[in-house]
C-alpha cells in the first residue's frame, strides 16, 4: 500500500494508473479535485479495488493522520501542488497555502506516523517529494544543465513555493530523520494534461481554429519529459533512491517553445487536415511575455542514470506524436475539462495581452 497525493491531476493520475499496471499493489489516492484534478483521468481504475480514492486536502492534518493510521502505507508519494506559473502570477497566495503550508502539514503527519512504526517497516518507509526544475532558476544559452547541487534561485511565485517545500522536506530529513527523497523533474507532457499548459493548449486551440499564443519571441527553452518516463523514474527512485538525496529527472530534449508549437502544427496538419485551416502554424500569435519568464531550463540526469539505472525511453518526436494522437482520440475528455471557468482563465491570461 502506498499513499499518493494529487493523484487525480495530470502527473499523479498517470502515476496511479502506471503503478497499478506495473506494481499491482494498492494505492490510496488523496486529491482535493481542484480545477486540474479530474476523476475522469482515473476512469480506467474506477472499478479497481486496489484504488481507494479520497477527496481531501493535504493540509487537513486530521484526515491525513487518519489515512496513514488506517491504511499503514509503506510510502507517501507527494504530487499534490498548484503548478502553473501563470496562475501563480495572478494569485500567489493559493500556491503558498498548498505548496508550502500543505506540504509542511503533510510532512508533520508523515513524521508522526513514521516515528510510531516498528522495524522493519520503519526502515522501509519513504516520503517521496516530487518537485520541479524551476527551483533552480534560469540558464543562459551556453550554461551547463542543472545538477542536484545547483543553488536554488526561483524566479516565480510558483517556483518559490516549490523551493520552500523542497527545503522543508530536506530539513525534515536532516533534523528528524524522516526518510525523504526528492525528485526535480523537467516539463512533462502526455495524456490527461490540463489544457492551459503549452502542448495541450496548442492542440485544443488549433483544432478549434483559434490563435496559438506564444510568449515573447518563442525562444524560451525547456527540457521536455514524457509523463510515462517520469512515472517510471519516480517508481525507480521509490525503490532504490537514498533518503536525504535529490534526483533530477529530465527528457534530454531541449526545445524552444516555438519549435514545440510548430511540431504540433505539423503533426495536426498530417493527422487532422482541414480545408478551413490547411496550415495550423498560420494561427501562431506572439503575445507579450509573462513577467519574469525564465529563458532556459536544462537537466543533468547523470546522477539518476548512474545510481538508479534510469533513462528516458521516449524520444520527444515520438512522445509528442503519441500525445497529439491521444488528444485527438479523447475529444470528449477535452470537452469535459474546458469549462466556462477554463475559458475565463484563458481570457484573463491571454485575452488582455493582445499581440506583441
Selected catalytic residue, list 57, 133, 166, 294: 133
Strand-pair category, 2-5 with 284-287: unpaired
Rounded CA gap, 14 and 11, in Å? 5
| 134, 223, 294, 314: the active-site residue | 134
Question: Which residue, 333, 332, 334, is CA-closest to 343?
Answer: 334
Q: 96 Cβ partners below 8 Å, 6+ apart?
A: 157, 161, 164
Grid cell of 122 as nine digits: 520503519
82 given a catalytic annotation: no
Candidate list 113, 136, 158, 247, residue with the active-site label: 158
User: What is the SS3 string spanning the chain?
Assistant: CEEEECCCCHHHHHHHHHHHHHCCCCEEEEECCCCCCCHHHHHHHCCCCCEEEEECCCCCHHHHHHHHHHHCCCEEEECCCCCCHHHHHHCHHHHHHHHHHHHHHHHHHHHHHHHCCCCCHHHHCEEEEEEEHHHHCCCCCCCCCECCCCCCCCCCHHHHHHHHHHHHHHHHHHHHCCCEEEEEECEEECCCCCCCCHHHHHHHHHHCCCCEEEECCCCCEEEEEEHHHHHHHHHHHHHHCCCCCEEEECCCCEEEHHHHHHHHHHHHHHHCCCCCCCCHHHHEEEECCCCCCCCECCECCHHHHHHHCCCCCCCHHHHHHHHHHHHHHCHHHHHHHCCHHHHHHHHHHHHCCCCC
| Residue 31 near residue 57, CB atoms below 8 Å | no
C-alpha cell at 279: 496550415
**Active-site annotation holds for 158:** yes
- Cβ count within 10 A of residue 62: 9
Give me the active site residues, please. Answer: 133-134, 158
Amino acid at each position: 500500500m502506498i499513499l499518493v497525493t494529487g493523484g487525480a491531476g495530470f502527473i499523479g493520475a498517470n502515476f496511479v494508473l502506471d503503478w497499478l499496471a506495473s506494481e499491482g499493489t494498492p494505492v490510496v489516492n488523496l486529491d482535493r479535485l481542484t480545477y486540474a484534478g479530474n476523476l475522469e483521468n482515473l476512469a480506467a481504475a474506477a472499478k479497481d479495488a486496489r484504488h481507494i480514492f479520497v477527496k481531501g486536502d493535504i493540509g487537513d492534518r486530521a484526515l491525513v493522520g487518519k489515512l496513514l493510521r488506517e491504511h499503514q502505507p509503506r510510502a507517501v508519494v507527494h504530487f499534490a501542488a498548484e503548478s502553473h506559473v501563470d496562475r501563480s502570477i495572478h494569485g500567489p497566495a493559493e500556491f503558498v497555502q498548498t505548496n508550502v503550508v500543505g506540504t509542511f502539514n503533510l510532512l508533520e503527519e508523515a513524521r508522526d506516523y513514521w516515528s510510531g512504526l516498528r522495524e522493519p517497516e520503519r526502515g522501509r518507509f519513504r516520503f517521496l517529494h516530487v518537485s520541479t526544475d524551476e527551483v533552480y532558476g534560469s540558464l543562459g544559452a551556453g550554461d551547463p544543465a542543472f545538477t542536484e547541487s545547483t543553488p536554488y534561485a526561483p524566479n516565480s511565485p510558483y517556483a518559490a513555493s516549490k523551493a520552500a517545500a523542497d527545503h522543508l522536506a530536506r530539513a525534515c530529513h536532516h533534523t528528524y530523520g524522516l526518510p525523504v527523497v526528492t525528485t526535480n523533474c523537467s516539463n512533462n507532457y502526455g495524456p490527461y494534461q490540463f489544457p492551459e499548459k503549452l502542448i495541450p493548449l496548442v492542440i485544443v486551440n488549433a483544432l478549434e481554429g483559434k490563435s496559438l499564443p506564444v510568449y515573447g519571441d518563442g525562444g524560451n527553452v525547456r527540457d521536455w519529459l514524457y509523463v510515462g518516463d517520469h512515472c517510471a523514474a519516480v517508481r525507480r527512485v521509490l525503490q532504490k533512491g537514498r533518503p536525504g538525496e535529490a534526483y533530477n529527472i529530465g527528457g534530454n530534449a531541449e526545445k524552444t517553445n516555438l519549435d514545440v508549437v510548430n511540431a504540433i502544427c505539423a503533426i495536426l496538419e498530417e493527422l487532422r487536415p482541414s480545408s478551413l485551416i490547411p496550415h495550423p502554424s498560420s494561427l501562431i500569435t506572439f503575445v507579450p511575455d509573462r513577467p519574469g519568464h525564465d529563458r532556459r531550463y536544462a537537466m543533468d540526469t547523470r546522477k539518476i542514470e548512474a545510481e538508479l539505472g534510469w533513462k528516458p525511453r521516449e524520444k520527444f518526436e515520438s512522445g509528442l506524436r503519441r500525445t497529439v494522437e491521444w488528444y485527438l482520440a479523447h475529444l470528449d475528455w477535452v470537452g469535459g475539462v474546458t469549462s466556462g471557468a477554463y475559458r475565463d482563465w484563458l481570457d484573463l491570461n491571454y485575452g488582455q495581452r493582445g499581440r506583441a
